Structures are given as structure tokens and as C-alpha cells.
Amino acid sequence: MKNTAVIILAAGKGTRMKSATAKVLHCIREKPMIQYVTNTAVRLAGSDVIVVVGTQADQVKAVVSEVYPDVRFAFQKEQLGTGHAVLCAIPELCDNIEHVLILCGDVPFLKLSTLTKLIDAHIWQKNIITLVGSVIDNPRGYGRLIIDPQNRVSRIVEEADATADEKTIKLINTGIYCVHRRSLETMIRQVRPDNTQNEIYLTDIIEIASKQGAGIGMVKCEDSNEILGINTIHDLEKAESVLMTHEKP
């Protein structure tokens, strides 16, 4: 898609994997999970793909570049949150880019059709931010989407900061966003690490945009396998079974 770039967040350690190997280097059916995400991103944006690396950066870069030589990289020296990771990638965006799609390196099965639908809705509705949401039976561990009386997304509450009532919400944030490029640059610099993790949350741009009265759209993903995030060895095993029983996305 013209004037659209993709940022893939792939710098984290993945401590819950209990492995010395960086999370995105773990394999699903003998293929590193970062390659699944990069494949979809390249099909969407061509050479306008930036992978944010940090933990085992050289290894991640090598695994990506081996298959996708035109992909660029941004280095996140310290893992200070998803918002900080995006900040590290912004200088790599080309001048012609108007919209930025943000993906997670540990969510390997998102389909091209879903992301195309997201970007189309974002541009057609003239939103500042459009995100992928999903309703799941067990939302534990996910950020919850808070909907205002006008049925718009007003903010995202991370699990660690959620109240008991907020934790009952089943509409979750998948971590996938399309954001107007200039607005992203402005909003991300306004985010402060005022949370229990002392990190710069990318999710905080939702509340910033909402307070400014900006358009915030949402596209729902109905297939829970598509938004499966890999955080533990159990998740990795589940991903293996998904590929065994479903056609590769």
C-alpha cells in the first residue's frame, strides 16, 4: 500500500519463555516466528518495513535479512516499553509515509486480509488511530478496550493497571494499530511512564487522541487464532497445533 509503512516490535526478551533465546527467534514448524510477521508486512508495504530489535539484535537481524533483504531495522538499546520502541523506529520512516501500521513480532498469524481491512477502514474513516480489537472468553493478560457512551474507544487499560471491574471486560486490545504518521510522532512524545511497570506504553496514545477529540476506529477480529500472541512455551505449542489444523495464513 502506498504511503503506508509497517513497524514490527521485536526487541523484547520474552522472559516468560524461560529460554536464553530471544522470543521472536523461537520457531513454529521450524520457521522463526518473526519471519511469519515480516512476510505479511512485506506483502503489505514492500520495502517500507522497519523491525525494532534489541535482545539478540544481530541474530534477529540476520534471520530477517536472510529472507527479506530490503527490511530496515531500528535498535532499542533498553526495553522501556512499546511506546519507546516506536520512538526508536520513527527516524527510519521515509518522508512520504502518511500512515504507520504497528505489528507485534510475537503475533505470527495475522492475515493480510485483516490488515488490509484495518488500513482501508483507517483511511476511509479518516481516523487518527484505528486498532484491531477482539472479544475473547478469557481476556487475562490482555489490555482491555474501554468504550465511551458514544461507542468509541476512549482508552486501553493494561492488565496490571486494571480495576476488578475492568478485568471483567472481554473486549481486548490485540496490539495492532494503524496510526496517522504525523499524529503518531506528536502523541508518542507526550506519553509518560506513569504506570506500575514504569514504561512508555504505546496504548496511552489512545487516551491522548480521545481527549483531543480525534477519530479512533476499531476493526474486530473474529478468529482468536489469528491474534494468538506467543508469550510462553505453552503458547508456542498451541501455535504448532494451529498450523497443523489450519491452512497457513
Q: What is the CATH number of the domain that holds 204?
A: 3.90.550.10
**Phi first, then psi: what are they for 54, rounded to 5°?**
-160, -80
Query: pLDDT above 70 covers what percent of the chain?
Result: 98
Across 43-60, average pLDDT: 97
Using left for φ > 0, alpha for ψ between -120 and 50, and beta otherwise, residue 74 falls in beta
CA distance 230 to 236: 6
Cα–Cα dist 93/7, whole Å: 9
Phi/psi zone of residue 16: left (φ > 0), alpha (ψ -120 to 50 degrees), beta?
Answer: alpha
Question: Which positions are annotated as active-site residues?
Answer: 16
Task: Please give the average per-residue pLDDT across 68-82, as a whole number.
Answer: 96
pLDDT in tens, 23-42: 999 999 999 999 999 999 99
- Asked if residue 249 has pLDDT above 50, the reply is no
Smallest Cα–Cα separation from 239: which of 28, 32, 37, 33? 28
d(CA 105, CA 10): 5
Domain that holds residue 207: 4-245
Average pLDDT of span 134-143 = 91
Q: Which of helix, strand or coil describes residue 98?
A: coil
Query: In this predicted structure, what is the pLDDT of residue 247?
Result: 52
Reply yes or no on whether the pLDDT at 150 is more than 80.
no
Phi, psi torsion values for 112, nearest 5 degrees:
-60, -35
d(CA 120, CA 193): 32
Per the structure, how many domains does the chain have?
1
State how beta strands 99-104 and 4-9 pair. parallel
Q: How far is CA 134 from the centre of its chain?
A: 14
Instruction: Note the pTM of the prediction, 2 decimals.
Output: 0.93
Residue 59 has pLDDT above 70, yes or no: yes
Q: What average pLDDT does the chain have?
A: 93
Q: Is the pLDDT of residue 71 over 70?
A: yes
- Give the C-alpha separation, 201 to 208, whole Å: 12
Whether 112 contacts 70, CB under 8 Å: no
Reference 95, options 37, 181, 6, 188; nearest CA is: 181
Please compute the mean of the pLDDT values over residues 201-216 and round it to a whole number.
91
Distant-in-sequence, close-in-space partners of 205: CB < 8 Å, separation ≥ 6: 83, 129, 179, 184, 187, 188, 191
Q: Decide if 101 contacts 45 (C-beta within 8 A).
A: yes
Q: Is 105 helix (H, G, I), strand (E, B) or coil?
A: coil
